[in-house]
Structure 1
Amino acid sequence: MSKSVLITGAAAGIGRATALRFAAAGYIVGGFDVDRDGLAALAADLGSRHVTGELDVRDADGWRAALDALTSRTGGELDVLVNNAGILRSGRFAEIPLADQQRIIEVNVTGVLNGCHAAYPYLKRTQGAHVVNLASASAIYGQPELAAYSASKFAVRGLTEALDLEWAGDDITVRALWPLFVNTAMVDGMDIASTRSLGIRLTADDVAEAVYDAVQPRRRLGGVHIAVGRQAKLMRAASDIAPSWMSRLVNKRLTS
């Protein structure tokens, strides 16, 4: 039987590119999102072998329905879960409405929590299963003008580390991807100090390829965190050896 993957936020950007990458590799893809038009376009590109559907990742019941829709075609197994859905608001913390910041936490953190919890039984019964959580290089050090988003990715980082240890006995690996800014609709119109300093150099296809690479057998012995792109790799390597005061200084210079 073909391997399977469930991808959230699959209607556009990184999620769509990831869905197409796994489909090209022969996986049965379950692509879910809240964007109906984007889902219709994805379904047309994927074909009838695959599953698409609406899912608000904050909705635990919706998760169960999405998993049932996909695993009904796979004998109840799930090889890969990709928690990609996320939202972002940039700007000064005090100037962004509180409701918008709360929604960032709900989607980016609660959505990943819901997905991991709902998918666990399917992953456990699948040999060599994987979870890939989309974190961010903003989880290296808290980012001004991205405070709530950065905090949400620190939460994803912690959850990933904990579950990778906790689920190792169930033959489930859990990985976090750490891209910097990616050229998708999420960063349209964004003009903050860090984008001016670092630019927007990654494409959705770059990240999709990194997601696919993260679930290859040779990756099972690798680290939990996978930086995507040269900039993120350099920043992560530097953070591993630099004292905290230096990390703060570097981030202050990049974001001011």
Structure 2
Amino acid sequence: MKRLTEQVAIVTGGARGIGAAIARLLAAEGAAVVVADVLDAEGAASAAELGGRSRYVHLDVTSEEGWKAVVAETERELGPVSVLVNNAGIVEWATIEEQTLESFRRVVDVNLQGAWLGIRTAVPSLRRAGGGVIVNMSSSAGLTGYAGVGAYVASKWGLRGLTKTAALELGADRIRVCSVHPGVVHTAMTADIDESFASGQPIPRFGEPEEVARMVAFIIAEATYSTGTEFVLDGGATTGTPAALPSVR
């Protein structure tokens, strides 16, 4: 039985990796899925694979006007938004001393401001849907620190906090808001990280995008008494002390 047949979902960063896996699973569960990304060719291919009522839209998540256009088009073509997955994210590798102000702002603008814009823009549509679910893709870096990715860590901790505030503000509207905290997962973002990075974890391997997608689908369809909650799937990496974790450098 498909669990999401009445849902209309926007998935940012849905062209590839974790976002594409989420879009595939939500569509397989019956949802109408809008794949939103700046990677037009890959995003269109991802949406075409889904079939049904799903489609691709170009979206720079740092653009307020872009968000307004995507939500308006979704409502016009598919109905009110009932699921928002803020998955779009970037990382730029640099120590705090090495990173430029422009680089720091770029990471925070996409990873944190982009999600904030998405929540703010989509909430009226979620209200019109009678409620729904917002899933923010944080990271194990939103639970601890990693050397060499200070902007990324700061953005993911910020997203974790934003999730809790949104959950408090939107609960009366029957809108649940949760964060997901993957560890290292096989994606384009981690392509240059050696597999030994995960060797010290209780589950000594990288995760797969499909494993994250299953968690997101569970939050939407099954975790109906959870809001403001952190769902962690990191192979146990954050169960140890931060000093014991491998560095990304």
Q: TM-score, normalised by structure 1?
A: 0.86
Aligned residue runs from structure 1 range 16-55, under 5 A: 16-47=20-51, 49-55=53-59
Aligned residue runs from structure 1 range 50-69, under 5 A: 50-69=54-73
Distance (whole Å) between structure 2 residues aligned to residue 200 and residue 96 of structure 1:
29
In structure 2, the partner of 1:241 is none
Contact 1:5 1:82 (C-alpha < 8 Å) held by counterparts: yes
Q: Match for 2:12 among 8, 11, 27? A: 8
Contact 2:130 2:174 (C-alpha < 8 Å) held by counterparts: yes
Q: Match for 2:96 among 93, 96, 104? A: 93
Distance change in 2, residues 1:140/1:96 (3 Å): same
In structure 2, the partner of 1:253 is 244
Q: CA-atom RMSD, angstroms?
A: 2.2
Distance (whole Å) between structure 2 residues aligned to residue 190 and residue 113 of structure 1:
29
Q: Which amino acid aligns with 2:69?
A: A
In structure 1, the partner of 2:139 is 136
Higher helix share: 1
Per-residue CA shift, 1:58-115, capped at 9, x if unaligned? Answer: 000000111112111333x111000000001234232233322221001001100100
Distance change in 2, residues 1:195/1:25 (3 Å): same
Q: Match for 2:187 among 162, 184, 195? A: 184
Q: Which amino acid aligns with 2:236?
A: Q
In structure 1, the partner of 2:206 is 201
User: What is the percent sequence identity of the aligned residues?
Assistant: 33
Q: Match for 2:173 among 170, 173, 176? A: 170
Distance (whole Å) between structure 2 residues aligned to residue 213 and residue 14 of structure 1:
15
**Is 1:156 the counterpart of 2:159 in the alignment?**
yes
Contact 2:177 2:227 (C-alpha < 8 Å) held by counterparts: no
Distance change in 2, residues 1:98/1:231 (3 Å): same
Q: CA deviation at 1:48?
A: 5.6
Distance (whole Å) between structure 1 residues aligned to residue 117 and residue 226 of structure 2:
26
Q: CA deviation at 1:200?
A: 5.0
Contact 2:12 2:86 (C-alpha < 8 Å) held by counterparts: yes
Structure 1: stretches of 5+ with no match in the other structure: 239-246
Q: Which amino acid aligns with 1:42?
A: S
Helix, strand or coil at the partner of 1:30: strand
